[in-house]
Chain A
């Protein structure tokens, strides 16, 4: 089983305060363009697809699949070294965006591209939580 990962608190620009406050309540928010409708990632008050500043928050399903990943065996980041080996991944959310994250609660060597995952939140103790992803057994059941 993967080891507990550190929970560094984000140093957030003001326009993502709501995003991080929501993570502390177990919610993953997506910024969405009010003009073209596309979910925006990383969160920002500007739509990089159509150039609109008319954007708003909506809650993501928290489900997705592994787009790609790596099992990190050597790390230059001191607080992550005790968690080696750990998994860094891009998860493709059901809503479309591919977000950088960690895959947790499984053996690192069991992670594969395309694996269904669901979000979990790891509290930073500073009014925010890190959105990480664990294998999603309900999605696996659906697939059988």
Chain B
């Protein structure tokens, strides 16, 4: 695939001012976005991809929320002043690949006003952070706890059902010599752990660990020449879900968009998934994501995880066989990379023998970022064995 002739720049806008002491970076991003869309004859509702540098807030999430965008592709590649040229190339690739149709690229900054003692307006002072930074939100758990409260209210989900997710992860972690928590747990033990932010207890939370991970993605030609077995990328979807002009619904995640797109591109269904790495920052993250990916109906996640459904190798949907973020590892407070790593181990047949899924040919890895309690990124990846 080449991008040649596959994408066009249809709108441009340069902000007319050279000194802007009285507006936030966010507002300037919004103004240039509106200008470029008007130039193209398009509107905000046409935009399905957004590109920004590190000036826009929390990655692309803050401006997606500010502008009310419905996104299936995002990119916040930061390469300094070259970023926006990189973004055009990446946007063209995404358009050529069918990932999006209308990409918005914005830049905003106020170095002149800032140097003259101007008001703060960018970075950590994006308005979303101002209005959510005053109430004692203690890390990520507070927002996820509010999601759990609402899920329980609407669907009758229980703390014991949340605990089943931790128990399944712990049963897997006992076989991982590197896991941070290696002791198998019971539902009762999880329910006796200290309350952190109701209804979430200590054992509803992932571990906090140092460390990291890395992945190598190659062309088919390179893969063919390597002696190691590779995992084939079959499909992928991504989405941003945000506070929706203050009408946020905490009972679902961006997986409702990223999941179907990944399944469609891969040409498989939920029934084809032999193994799933599900982002597990908290137990409620897993419950909502399982529903949103279509492994059960909305609201049924708490009941779905009963009876060892997530436990390898014999459960209905073996998950997080490394012990997941809940027991094994959550390096840099970000669990996405370990989700992909364990999915590849399963497809290679190199998971621990006690948790290796027999004949694992199709695997799913799902990442969640930001907070399901406000604005978040979701990405779903479907992988197969080399001959899948």
Q: Which residues of A contact B (CB under 8 A)?
A: 5-6, 8, 10-16, 38-49, 51, 53, 67-77, 80, 83, 86, 88-90, 96-102, 113-114, 130
Instruction: Tell whether, in the assembled complex, residue B34 and residue A51 are in contact, meaning their CB atoms are under 8 Å apart.
Output: yes
11 intermolecular pairs with C-beta atoms under 8 Å apart: A13-B23, A16-B130, A51-B37, A53-B31, A53-B34, A68-B250, A70-B142, A72-B142, A75-B136, A75-B138, A97-B245
Checking B22, B198, B245 against A14 with a beta-carbon cut-off of 8 angstroms, the contacting residue is B22
Q: Which residues of B contact A10 (CB under 8 A)?
A: 130-131, 133-134
Q: Whole-angstrom distance from the CB of A31 to the nearest CB of chain B?
A: 10
Main secondary structure on A side of the interface with B: loop
Give the distance in Å from the alpha carbon of A44 to the alpha carbon of B198 in the complex: 31
Within 275-314 of B, Cβ neighbours of A (below 8 Å) are at none
Instruction: Tell whether, in the assembled complex, residue B139 and residue A76 are in contact, meaning their CB atoms are under 8 Å apart.
Output: yes
Checking A41, A71, A75 against B198 with a beta-carbon cut-off of 8 angstroms, the contacting residue is A71
Q: Which residues of B contact A (CB under 8 A)?
A: 21-24, 26-27, 30-31, 34, 37, 43-45, 65-68, 119-121, 125-128, 130-139, 142, 145-150, 153, 194-200, 243, 245-248, 250, 374
Checking B21, B131, B197 against A70 with a beta-carbon cut-off of 8 angstroms, the contacting residue is B197
Instruction: Tell whether, in the assembled complex, residue B68 and residue A49 are in contact, meaning their CB atoms are under 8 Å apart.
Output: yes
Instruction: Tell whether, in the assembled complex, residue B245 and residue A49 are in contact, meaning their CB atoms are under 8 Å apart.
Output: yes
The residue in B131, B146, B250 that gathers the most chain A C-beta atoms within 10 A of its C-beta is B131
Q: Whole-angstrom distance from the CB of B231 to the nearest CB of chain A?
A: 38
Q: Which residues of B contact A98 (CB under 8 A)?
A: 243, 246-248
Checking B66, B135, B150 against A48 with a beta-carbon cut-off of 8 angstroms, the contacting residue is B66
Q: Which residues of B contact A113 (CB under 8 A)?
A: 149-150, 153
Instruction: Tell whether, in the assembled complex, residue B147 and residue A68 are in contact, meaning their CB atoms are under 8 Å apart.
Output: yes
Instruction: Tell whether, in the assembled complex, residue A40 and residue B246 are in contact, meaning their CB atoms are under 8 Å apart.
Output: yes
Instruction: Tell whether, in the assembled complex, residue B67 and residue A68 are in contact, meaning their CB atoms are under 8 Å apart.
Output: no
Instruction: Tell whether, in the assembled complex, residue B146 and residue A44 are in contact, meaning their CB atoms are under 8 Å apart.
Output: no
Chain A residue nearest to B195 (CB atoms) is A73
Q: Whole-angstrom distance from the CB of A44 to the nearest CB of chain B?
A: 6
Instruction: Tell whether, in the assembled complex, residue B136 and residue A86 are in contact, meaning their CB atoms are under 8 Å apart.
Output: yes
Instruction: Tell whether, in the assembled complex, residue B136 and residue A5 are in contact, meaning their CB atoms are under 8 Å apart.
Output: yes
Q: Whole-angstrom distance from the CB of B136 to the nearest CB of chain A?
A: 4
Q: Whole-angstrom distance from the CB of A98 to the nearest CB of chain B?
A: 5
Instruction: Tell whether, in the assembled complex, residue A48 and residue B130 are in contact, meaning their CB atoms are under 8 Å apart.
Output: no
Give the distance in Å from the alpha carbon of A46 to the alpha carbon of B247 in the complex: 16
Q: State the 8 A-B residue pairs at the shortest beta-carbon distance, nearest first.
A: A48-B68, A41-B246, A97-B246, A13-B24, A70-B145, A80-B136, A68-B150, A51-B44
Q: Whole-angstrom distance from the CB of A63 to the nearest CB of chain B?
A: 16
Chain B residue nearest to A109 (CB atoms) is B198
Q: Which residues of B contact A15 (CB under 8 A)?
A: 22-24, 27, 127
Q: Which residues of B contact A68 (CB under 8 A)?
A: 146-147, 149-150, 153, 250
Q: Which residues of A contact B30 (CB under 8 A)?
A: 44, 46, 53
Q: Whole-angstrom distance from the CB of A71 to the nearest CB of chain B?
A: 4
Instruction: Tell whether, in the assembled complex, residue A14 and residue B23 are in contact, meaning their CB atoms are under 8 Å apart.
Output: yes
Q: Which residues of A contact B119 (CB under 8 A)?
A: 13-14
Give the distance in Å from the alpha carbon of A130 to the alpha carbon of B134 in the complex: 8
